[in-house]
Each structure stands twice: as C-alpha cells, then as structure tokens.
Chain A
C-alpha cells in the first residue's frame, strides 16, 4: 500500500470504462447493478442539495455556504464505506458525508443560516458538527479512535479534511498520535487543489499522501472523482482500522469546481481553462457513462433519481426557510451544563431590559 502513492487508484475511467485492478476491484465485488445505481443516486442528490443551498444563499436565506461541487464522489464513496457504528469527524464542506450518514437535509443549513452553531445531535448519526477551525478535527478523530481501541470496539473513525489542513500542527500531531497508539482512524484528505486561493503545491511539494509516510503510516492516493475507487480504498482502510491494524491515510485527488464559499471569487486566483479540464472529469458524468455502458440507465431509474434529488432539495429548502429564529434569551442557554450565577444574572438583566422595550412598544401601539 505504501508504494502506491504516485498512482492514484482508479476503477472507472472518465469515459465510463472500468479499470481492472485485482487488488481493489475485489473490494467492491459486491457492488452490483443496484448498488451502482444507488451510488449514482447519492451523487446526484448530493449535487442537487448543494446547488439548492447555493441558491438559498443567493436569495438571502443563508449567510454563507461552502459548496462541495466536484467533490461528490470523494464524499459519497468514502461515506458509503462506513458502517453505522463508525464515526465521522467532518469539516465545513462535507454535506454529502452528512447526507449519507442520515443527517436530515432540512436541518443541514442551520449553522449557515445563523440559527444555531450545531444542526444535529452528533451521536444520533455518528457525525460531528462541522469543524471550522481547520485541522482541529484530526486530533479529535484520533482521540475518539484511541478510545474505541481501548474499549475493544471494532469500529473505524474517519477524519475528513482538506489539503490545506495538512499544514496545520494539529494534523501533524494527529498523525503522530495515531501511530504511537495504533489508533483505528482513517485520515481522509480531499485534495481539491486549493485552500481558498492557495494552490496545493504551497502546502506541499510532494503528494499530500507522502506526509503520512514520514510517520510510518500506510498511505495511498485515489482518484477522488471515481466513486467506486474511493469506496474501495475507504473500505480497505476502515477494515484495517476495525481489525486493529492502525491508521491509514487516504488522499482523494479531486477538484473544487466552484468557489471556496459563496463569498469567494475564484476568478482572482485560477484560470477558467483549469476548471474546464476538471469538468471533463466530473464525477457524476463519469458514473453516468459507466451506467450507460453497462446498460443500467432506464427512464424509470432516471425518474427515480430525479424524484429523490428533488425531494432532498425541497426538504433542504423548506427546512431552511421555515427554520425558526432563536429567541433572544436563547443566548444564555447551554453555556454550562449546570447553573452558573453570572449567566443567570445576565439572563435576568437582559430579560428585564428587553421587557422595557416591550412596554414602550405596547404604549405606542
């Protein structure tokens, strides 16, 4: 595994033809026509969800959104390799991971709308709330995996992060800790070529996966726009984790086709021609070509996909626009798990202050 860094694993070529690689093809032997169709449906739903969220931001319903456009296969392929009791530590762009884990699209936008810092209960879906501080989640995943290891639980923990995150000390420390303690963790880097405006070579002159080699950690690169290949390598890594063989580093080579966030302007730092090259490698088109070649695209199936994507988007939209605004005094909730006199006093004083305005409004009306 260590020697494969220079050659990203690929199982589907951009034109939809299969690549036969005995070592990896065997990992997805159970993926028959129905499972291929399901993966395609996930990819389309993920993109539709993302497009809807961007539209909502443009319509003023969301303050911000970090689009995943182009990274659907990396996210769906890796998330579909997980079992329900595995645990995912995500950053702000892993909407498709959250979706595959069962996060309700209707709550996914809460944080981006400014209603709450966290949209869901992490333990209900075994996905953390998005880490905004870049790289911090690598250590958290490592610690969670250490705990699982101590417990003798046969689960895998996976940490999602970008190429830029690998420059952070936290990530370096996570790689060190996970090796020292043989932590059952998968480091899943989506190398989407950019950290906001900074190209990946500013973070590392060598393939990102090589960073792991210095820690003695098995690492590989995978074509991140090939959902099947990502599924295969993540299955392999999670299997290693579950059986007690320690951490693995995966670099999914992909591309962020849109802006960093809805307030970013990528034309300032990259050429349109580059984006065009990656359009030809679009992860959804590729899967569609595979299905076409293998005769798995029927009108009925496409209608099903369309219906799922529409439903997901509708759920995301209604959940967003109908999300209730938090009440002013919610400010003071959950700072501590038990009463705290300073908070209690401030809550009381602010309530009295607001009540004063209510009195004025009543008097004026």
Chain B
C-alpha cells in the first residue's frame, strides 16, 4: 500500500506516468506539454523522463494534434492528446467527430482508434474568453466516442489510466478549477470502479443530486448544508458522460424519489435533459417531483466578473432541492 496525497492535476500526472511506463506505445502530444509541462503542469517532468519521442510538443494546431494522433493510432500507438483549453477543441472538432469517432463503425470493427483526448474544461478560474467552456454535450451527442470526467484526485489517477487503456476513443474532460484540490489515496490499489460506472459520493434518502466534474464538490457541500437543515441528500458523481450509468442513478431515485441534475454547461439540451428524460421513463412511478436541472444559463460563457452567477453554486442547488421537496 502506498498512500499519497496528490492534487487532481498531480494525480493525472502520476497516472500518465504509469501509462507511459506500462505501454511503450503510449505517447503524449500537445502544445507546450514538453519542457513547460503543460500550462497546468499536468505533464510536468514527463518529457524529461520519457524523452521527446514519447512526450511530443506539437505545432500550434489542434486539428493537427488530433488528426496526427489518429494516424498514429492507426499505426498501433495509443496517443494521449492534450487540448490546452476547452475553447480550443473546436478547430479539432472535425477530426474528432468525423474521423476518430467513426472509424470503428466505418471499418466494421476492423480498425480501432485508442486515443485519449484530454481537455481541461469549465470555468471558475477567472480566465478570459474561450478558456472556460463546457463543450461536453457536443461530444456526448456523437456516437463512437466515450466521454468521462473525474471529480477528485483518486478518480483522476485511475480514470486516466483506464482511458488510455481503452480501445475506443475517450474524450477525457478535466475539471480545471479542481486541479489544485488535494486528497490522500492509495496509488497501488486497484481502481474500485470500471471507467463507466457512476459512484454514490454521499448517501442520502430525501433527494438525489447527480453531478459530474467540477460540480461534484459543490453538490457535496450543498449536501452538508442540507444535512444541517435536516435534509438527507444523496450525491452521485456520474464520472462517465457517455455511456451514462443510468442504473446507479435509477437505484438512487427509487430510494429518494427526487432528482436534481447539475452541471456547468448551458442547461438547454445539456446532459441534464437526457438524464431527466431517461429517469422520467425509468422511475415514472417513483418520482415525487419532476426532475429538475440546475446548470449554466443559455448564454455564451460570460466575462469572469459574472461567472459566479453563471456557475451553479451550492445555493442554486439547494434552491432546486427545496423546490423538489416542496412538490
């Protein structure tokens, strides 16, 4: 047993290190991932230790990064691409949705694209335009991609390794405002969940909050505030956005009868819409209130002085819980 305290960013670094050690076909590629160690330092020291054939600083071109990584995957490599910020994945969008996502289907399973595309996502760090977006719905809507996001260091450590080992392309969203959150965990333990399972992050009986990525800690603090007020909230960390582990969500809602889905992304046609629809189908007779959604507003990500209004906080979550409990 090797218990270590790591930040979420540090855990990703440790996980990538393990992945590089484990399989020599794993390569990391992206802008500034080498000597700088990435703008968030997630790849810090990896180039020094594994060389610049394994940790590759690429030209400043996202379509190039993903398109070339795709080609390397066709040659038997397992590239891990870093997109520097969420708002810069769009130049690579065509490669991801038209090429990477479809190759297995187009070739009737003859060709796989075991690519991991890492994207720091979400707001809350006071950044300028294009640095705080939540583009997950675009990718979740695309068949052929798997999409995941950890919310804590231990998951980050295990999930990045599981993603790299997966034979399907995985879009790996990193909740950037949680990069510095720390936790102690055993780096030698086996992961306790497969990549695509959700986790009950806190047990409760009165209502369920489903969240993922950066909003999970927010949901947990909402649950502790609610506990002080006499309400018992269950919090589910989705972890995987495609596929979604509806069984875990359903089991919780069967118990609590109430569901609030929370995410940073704009609410309209966001993941909350799909979860609300599915759970309404599955739990129609168990629901005591309509499924509610708390998310970003349907506006472009605002200037940073306004982001605290845009991002769902514990108060907005509790407001929704109150409405659910009142129904």
A165 touches B60 (CB 8 A): yes
Residues of A within 8 A of B126 (CB): 63-64, 114
B61 touches A167 (CB 8 A): yes
> How far, in whole Å, are A51 and B74 apart by their CA atoms in the complex?
49
Is A237 interfacial (CB 8 A cutoff)? no
> How far, in whole Å, are A117 and B127 apart by their CA atoms in the complex?
11
Residues of A within 8 A of B306 (CB): 114, 326, 328, 330-331
Residues of B within 8 A of A112 (CB): 128
Query: With A169-B61, A335-B298 in contact, do A326 and B128 touch (Cβ < 8 Å)?
Result: no
Is A116 interfacial (CB 8 A cutoff)? yes
Complex interface bits, A310-333 against B, C-beta within 8 A gives 1, otherwise 0: 000000000000000110101110
Query: With A170-B91, A197-B36, A335-B300 in contact, do A326 and B316 touch (Cβ < 8 Å)?
Result: no
B305 touches A325 (CB 8 A): yes
Residues of B within 8 A of A168 (CB): 60-61, 91
Residues of B within 8 A of A350 (CB): 297, 309
B66 to chain A minimum Cβ distance, whole angstroms, is 12
B32 to chain A minimum Cβ distance, whole angstroms, is 5
Q: What count of chain B residues pass the 8 Å CB interface test?
A: 40
A121 to chain B minimum Cβ distance, whole angstroms, is 17
B44 to chain A minimum Cβ distance, whole angstroms, is 9
A284 to chain B minimum Cβ distance, whole angstroms, is 28
A331 touches B34 (CB 8 A): no
Query: With A326-B306, A335-B299, A342-B298 in contact, do A269 and B36 touch (Cβ < 8 Å)?
Result: yes
Complex interface bits, B51-79 against A, C-beta within 8 A gives 1, otherwise 0: 00000011111011000000000000000
B302 to chain A minimum Cβ distance, whole angstroms, is 5
A115 touches B305 (CB 8 A): yes
Query: With A111-B303, A165-B60 in contact, do A346 and B298 touch (Cβ < 8 Å)?
Result: yes
Is B274 interfacial (CB 8 A cutoff)? no
Complex interface bits, A86-125 against B, C-beta within 8 A gives 1, otherwise 0: 0000001000000000000000000111111100000000
Query: With A111-B129, A195-B31, A346-B297 in contact, do A326 and B303 touch (Cβ < 8 Å)?
Result: yes
Interface size class of A (residues with CB under 8 A): 35 or more
B298 touches A167 (CB 8 A): no
Query: With A133-B130, A168-B91, A331-B297 in contact, do A268 and B37 touch (Cβ < 8 Å)?
Result: yes
Is A6 interfacial (CB 8 A cutoff)? no
B128 touches A198 (CB 8 A): no
Residues of B within 8 A of A328 (CB): 306, 309
B32 touches A198 (CB 8 A): yes
Is B124 interfacial (CB 8 A cutoff)? no
Contact residue among A64, A111, A169, A326 (Cβ-Cβ distance under 8 Å from B63): A169
B60 touches A164 (CB 8 A): yes
A184 to chain B minimum Cβ distance, whole angstroms, is 26
Residues of A within 8 A of B297 (CB): 331-332, 343, 346, 350
Interface residues of A in 241-275 (CB under 8 A from B): 264, 268-269
A167 touches B35 (CB 8 A): no
Complex interface bits, B20-62 against A, C-beta within 8 A gives 1, otherwise 0: 0000000000011011110100000000000000000111110
A353 touches B316 (CB 8 A): yes
Is B146 interfacial (CB 8 A cutoff)? no
Contact residue among A114, A195, A332 (Cβ-Cβ distance under 8 Å from B305): A114
Residues of A within 8 A of B302 (CB): 331
Is A202 interfacial (CB 8 A cutoff)? yes
B60 touches A134 (CB 8 A): yes
B35 touches A268 (CB 8 A): yes
Residues of A within 8 A of B310 (CB): 331
Is B248 interfacial (CB 8 A cutoff)? no
Q: Which of B127, B131, B300, B302 has the most CB of A within 10 A?
A: B302
A167 touches B59 (CB 8 A): yes
Is A132 interfacial (CB 8 A cutoff)? yes
Residues of A within 8 A of B58 (CB): 202
Residues of B within 8 A of A92 (CB): 128
Residues of A within 8 A of B35 (CB): 197, 268-269
Closest Cβ neighbor of A112 among chain B residues: B128
Is A302 interfacial (CB 8 A cutoff)? no
Query: With A196-B39, A198-B31, A331-B299 in contact, do A63 and B304 touch (Cβ < 8 Å)?
Result: yes
Is B284 interfacial (CB 8 A cutoff)? no
Is B204 interfacial (CB 8 A cutoff)? no
Is B246 interfacial (CB 8 A cutoff)? no
Closest Cβ neighbor of A347 among chain B residues: B297
Closest Cβ neighbor of B61 among chain A residues: A167
B127 touches A63 (CB 8 A): yes
27 CB contacts below 8 A, A to B, read A63-B128, A111-B128, A112-B128, A114-B303, A114-B307, A117-B129, A133-B87, A134-B60, A164-B60, A165-B60, A167-B59, A167-B61, A169-B63, A170-B91, A195-B31, A196-B39, A197-B32, A197-B36, A264-B39, A330-B306, A331-B297, A331-B306, A335-B299, A342-B268, A346-B298, A346-B299, A353-B319
Seed contacts A113-B305, A169-B91; 14 additional CB < 8 Å A-B pairs: A63-B127, A92-B128, A114-B126, A114-B305, A165-B60, A168-B60, A196-B39, A198-B60, A203-B60, A326-B306, A331-B297, A331-B302, A346-B299, A357-B315
In the A-B complex, the 7 residue pairs with the closest CB atoms: A114-B304, A197-B36, A167-B59, A164-B60, A167-B61, A114-B305, A63-B126
Q: Could you list which residues of chain B lie within 8 angstroms of chain A, going by C-beta atoms?
A: 31-32, 34-37, 39, 57-61, 63-64, 87-88, 90-91, 126-131, 268, 297-300, 302-307, 309-310, 315-316, 319
